[in-house]
Amino acid sequence: MYVKDTIAAISTAIGEGGIGIIRVSGPEAIEIVNKIFRSIRGKSLLEVDSYTAHYGHIVDSTEEIIDEVITLVMKSPKTYTTEDIVEINCHGGMVPLRKVLDLILKEGARLADPGEFTKRAFLNGRIDLAQAEAIIDLIRSQTETGLRVAMNQLEGGLSQKVGEIRQDLIKLLAHLEATIDFPEDEIEDFNSDELSDRIDGIAKKVEKLLRTSQKGKILKEGIETAIIGRPNVGKSSLLNALLREKRAIVTEIPGTTRDIIEEVINIDGIPVKIIDTAGIRDTEDIVEKIGVERSEEFLNRADLVLLVLDAHQGITAEDRKLMGSIKEKDAVIIANKLDLDSKLDFTEIEEILTDKPIVKTAAVENQGIDELEDVISNLVFSGEIKNEDQTLITNMRHKNALDRAYQMLLDVKKTFELDLPNDFITIDLRAALEAVGEITGDTIGEDIIDQIFADFCLGK
Ligand SMILES: Nc1nc2c(c(=O)[nH]1)N(C=O)[C@@H](CNc1ccc(C(=O)N[C@@H](CCC(=O)O)C(=O)O)cc1)CN2
Ligand SMILES: Nc1nc2c(ncn2[C@@H]2O[C@H](COP(=O)(O)OP(=O)(O)OP(=O)(O)O)[C@@H](O)[C@H]2O)c(=O)[nH]1
Ligand SMILES: [Mg+2]
């Protein structure tokens, strides 16, 4: 059972900051904070209006001033959690924040679990589960596009689509169940075409949502892109050009990069994690050898490989070996150092790697970088999408639920073709309804809810 006690936590990031906020929520929130807050104007928080701010001090049991603060009082039910909330804006340092939190806990509040404020917003019915999950996505979004998609979900974009599917299922079920329960009544049985059409219609809506999940996953998680190549071909120079800053050390000495360097860039809203690796070659140097092994690991693991060739030197035996090893991967060939004379045989590259795009660059002069970004963007989204519908499936939990619902609907179609009685159909339809309902949390177990919120930040 859900006990409505009063919870408190530091809601701002840990560390030094301009201000730091402590949030208290629950039936005792105002009373508890009132005990340790001294308003400059002598006002009691018990008497103030909702959504008002009050300047004053936090004091300990000996009336010693701990911090100078602004408190914000928000009264149930129009608050983040729908409970009474008091927020204390302290000076942003860990010592004052911890001390003030301590005092609040001593007055009877309990330290909130991670995500517990948002969990209460969900349990109290202000937002559904998909909206609650959007809040954490919003906080963790890596690009503006990611933020927009999370915001759309928070505003109920996904919930609305899921709600429609649920309504369709409920209507269909109601009709079918009426014909089962009251066969003698005048309720018209669907003719088979009609029933089949309705199921197809619902399945299509589910499928349409499912189709967005690949793009959604990429937007949320980004793509790992490894820059691979022989020593000295210009991998680190390419990383720097993509980042537009001198991040990695570049020298004319082969074997300069020893360890992996990772940075995230934003290409058309996609978070692209660029990994600069050590040049791959046979080496006796112990440190370099480890670097080379790690490079090979990243080559295998990456979602996308940028294979850099040195156009000035032409293709070597080592390049051929590397080209052979990326045949099965999504990859772009970078013909670098094209500001110098080129000895590169493009037909040979095209013969080995028939379907891979080739981009011509001069990394040290930032040439060809925009084109490379276009190629990456097109590869990832295969030409489709950019700014259409912002409702995307970005969450594996949602995808799994939709996958199951879709499977059920296919099963319904099969049952139906076998001409089995209606209650066989309704069992599968109910299961589909339940699966879809998991997304918004209408049908979901407590343990899964706990698991979802446990992944949130403290104070959220
Ligand atoms: N200081 C502060 N800033 C914050 C938050 C917060 O909790 N505290 N938020 C926390 O994440 C975000 C804002 N989210 C919020 C969502 C709903 C409500 C809220 O009170 N909703 C009421 C309507 C209030 C009214 O009508 O005036 C409601 O929906 O009933 C408040 C904040 C970002 N900034
Ligand atoms: N002319 C010219 N020189 C380049 C270009 N890109 C890189 N270089 C030079 O090539 C040398 C090696 O560049 P890096 O970026 O360090 O090469 P790398 O592939 O990271 O090398 P390792 O870390 O040793 O594997 C440096 O002297 C760069 O200035 C280019 O487009 N044109
Ligand atoms: Mg390097």
pLDDT digits 0-9 by tens, 216-247: 999 888 999 999 999 999 999 999 999 999 99
Predicted local confidence at residue 291, as pLDDT: 85
Protein residue closest via CA to atom 25 of ligand 1? 78
Question: Ligand 2, closest atom to CA 256?
Answer: 24
Predicted local confidence at residue 288, as pLDDT: 87
Protein residue closest via CA to atom 12 of ligand 2? 232
Predicted local confidence at residue 187, as pLDDT: 61
Structure token pair of residue 75 = 């009264």
Quick one: average pLDDT of 427-450?
95
CATH annotation of 7-128 = 3.30.1360.120
Predicted local confidence at residue 384, as pLDDT: 53
- Catalogue the E-assigned strands of 48-138: 52-59, 65-74, 85-91, 110-111
Give the number of whichever ligand sits closest to the CA of residue 118.
1
Predicted local confidence at residue 1, as pLDDT: 44
Protein residue closest via CA to atom 8 of ligand 2? 234
Binding residues for (6S)-5-formyl-5,6,7,8-tetrahydrofolate: 23, 87, 126, 460
Predicted local confidence at residue 386, as pLDDT: 52
Three-state SS sequence of the chain: CCCCCCEEEECCCCCCCCEEEEEEECCCHHHHHHHHEEECCCCCHHHCCCCEEEEEEEECCCCCEEEEEEEEEECCCCCCCCCCEEEEEEECCHHHHHHHHHHHHHCCCEECCCCHHHHHHHHCCCCCHHHHHHHHHHHHCCCHHHHHHHHHHHCCHHHHHHHHHHHHHHHHHHHHHHHHHCCCCCCCCCCHHHHHHHHHHHHHHHHHHHHCHHHHHHHHHCEEEEEEECCCCCHHHHHHHHHCCCCCCCCCCCCCCCCCEEEEEEECCEEEEEEECCCCCCCCCHHHHHHHHHHHHHHHHCCEEEEEEECCCCCCHHHHHHHHHCCCCCEEEEEECCCCCCCCCHHHHHHHCCCCCEEECEHHHCECHHHHHHHHHHHHHCCCCCCCCCCCCCCHHHHHHHHHHHHHHHHHHHHHHCCCCHHHHHHHHHHHHHHHHHHHCCCCCHHHHHHHHHCCCCCC
Q: Phi and psi for 412 in degrees, rounded to 5?
A: -60, -45
Inform me whether the pLDDT recorded for 396 exceeds 90.
yes
Task: Tell me the C-alpha distance between 400 and 402, whole Å.
Answer: 5
Percent of the chain past pLDDT 90, that is, above it, reads 81
Note the CATH architecture for domain 145-212+393-441: Up-down Bundle (1.20)
381 C-alpha vs ligand 2 centroid, how far in Å? 30
* The domain made up of 222-381 is a member of CATH 3.10.20.740: no
CB of 79 closer than 6 angstroms to any ligand 1 atom:
yes
Question: Which residue, 338, 102, 304, is CA-closest to 233?
Answer: 338
CB of 301 closer than 6 angstroms to any ligand 1 atom:
no
Predicted local confidence at residue 211, as pLDDT: 94
Provide the β-strand partners of residue 53.
72
Per-residue CA distances from 60 to 68, 105, 415 (Å): 12, 12, 70
Instruction: Indicate the pLDDT class of residue 418, thresholds 50, 70 and 90.
Output: confident
80 C-alpha vs ligand 1 centroid, how far in Å? 5
> Does 383 or 265 have the greater pLDDT score?
265
Inform me whether the pLDDT recorded for 100 exceeds 90.
yes
Give the number of whichever ligand sits closest to the CA of residue 242.
2
Pocket test for ligand 2, best of 250, 306, 361 (most atoms within 8 A of CB): 250
Task: Tell me the C-alpha distance between 220 and 394, whole Å.
Answer: 6
CB of 84 closer than 6 angstroms to any ligand 1 atom:
no
CB of 319 closer than 6 angstroms to any ligand 1 atom:
no
Query: pLDDT tens, 314-372?
Result: 999 999 999 999 999 999 999 999 999 999 999 999 999 998 999 999 999 999 999 99
Inform me whether the pLDDT recorded for 302 exceeds 90.
yes
Predicted local confidence at residue 3, as pLDDT: 60
Give the number of whichever ligand sits closest to the CA of residue 232.
2
Lowest mean per-residue pLDDT among 7-11, 424-428, 449-453? 424-428
> Dihedral, CA atoms, 199, 201, 203, 207, nearest 10 degrees?
170
Report every protein residue that has its C-beta within 5 angstroms of ion ligand 3.
235-236, 256-257
Instruction: Indicate the pLDDT class of residue 420, thresholds 50, 70 and 90.
Output: confident
Contact 430, 172 (CB under 8 A): no
Structure token pair of residue 351 = 């013969």
Quick one: average pLDDT of 260-274?
93
Query: pLDDT tens, 25-48?
Result: 999 999 999 999 999 999 999 999
Quick one: average pLDDT of 175-190?
71
Predicted local confidence at residue 235, as pLDDT: 97
Instruction: Indicate the pLDDT class of residue 189, thresholds 50, 70 and 90.
Output: low
Structure token pair of residue 261 = 């360097």
Instruction: Indicate the pLDDT class of residue 177, thresholds 50, 70 and 90.
Output: confident
ipTM tops the 0.90 cut: no
Give the number of whichever ligand sits closest to the CA of residue 230.
2
Percent of the chain past pLDDT 70, that is, above it, reads 95
Predicted local confidence at residue 133, as pLDDT: 97
Predicted local confidence at residue 2, as pLDDT: 57
Q: Is 330 exposed, middle or buried (0-12, 13-18, 19+ CB in 10 A)?
A: middle
SS3 170: helix
Task: Tell me the C-alpha distance between 276 and 261, whole Å.
Answer: 5
Inform me whether the pLDDT recorded for 176 exceeds 90.
no
Protein residue closest via CA to atom 21 of ligand 1? 79
Task: Tell me the C-alpha distance between 407 and 402, whole Å.
Answer: 9
Pocket test for ligand 1, best of 69, 79, 126 (most atoms within 8 A of CB): 79
Q: Which residues have CB under 6 Å of ligand 2?
A: 229, 231-237, 250-252, 254-257, 278-279, 336-337, 339-340, 362-364
Provide the β-strand partners of residue 125.
none
Domain residue ranges in the chain: 7-128, 145-212+393-441, 222-381
Inform me whether the pLDDT recorded for 185 exceeds 90.
no
Question: Ligand 2, closest atom to CA 362?
Answer: 31
**Average pLDDT over all residues of the chain:** 93
Inform me whether the pLDDT recorded for 426 exceeds 50.
yes
457 C-alpha vs ligand 1 centroid, how far in Å? 17
Instruction: Indicate the pLDDT class of residue 381, thresholds 50, 70 and 90.
Output: confident
Contact 349, 323 (CB under 8 A): yes
Task: Tell me the C-alpha distance between 106 and 100, whole Å.
Answer: 10
Contact 233, 250 (CB under 8 A): no
Instruction: Indicate the pLDDT class of residue 409, thresholds 50, 70 and 90.
Output: very high
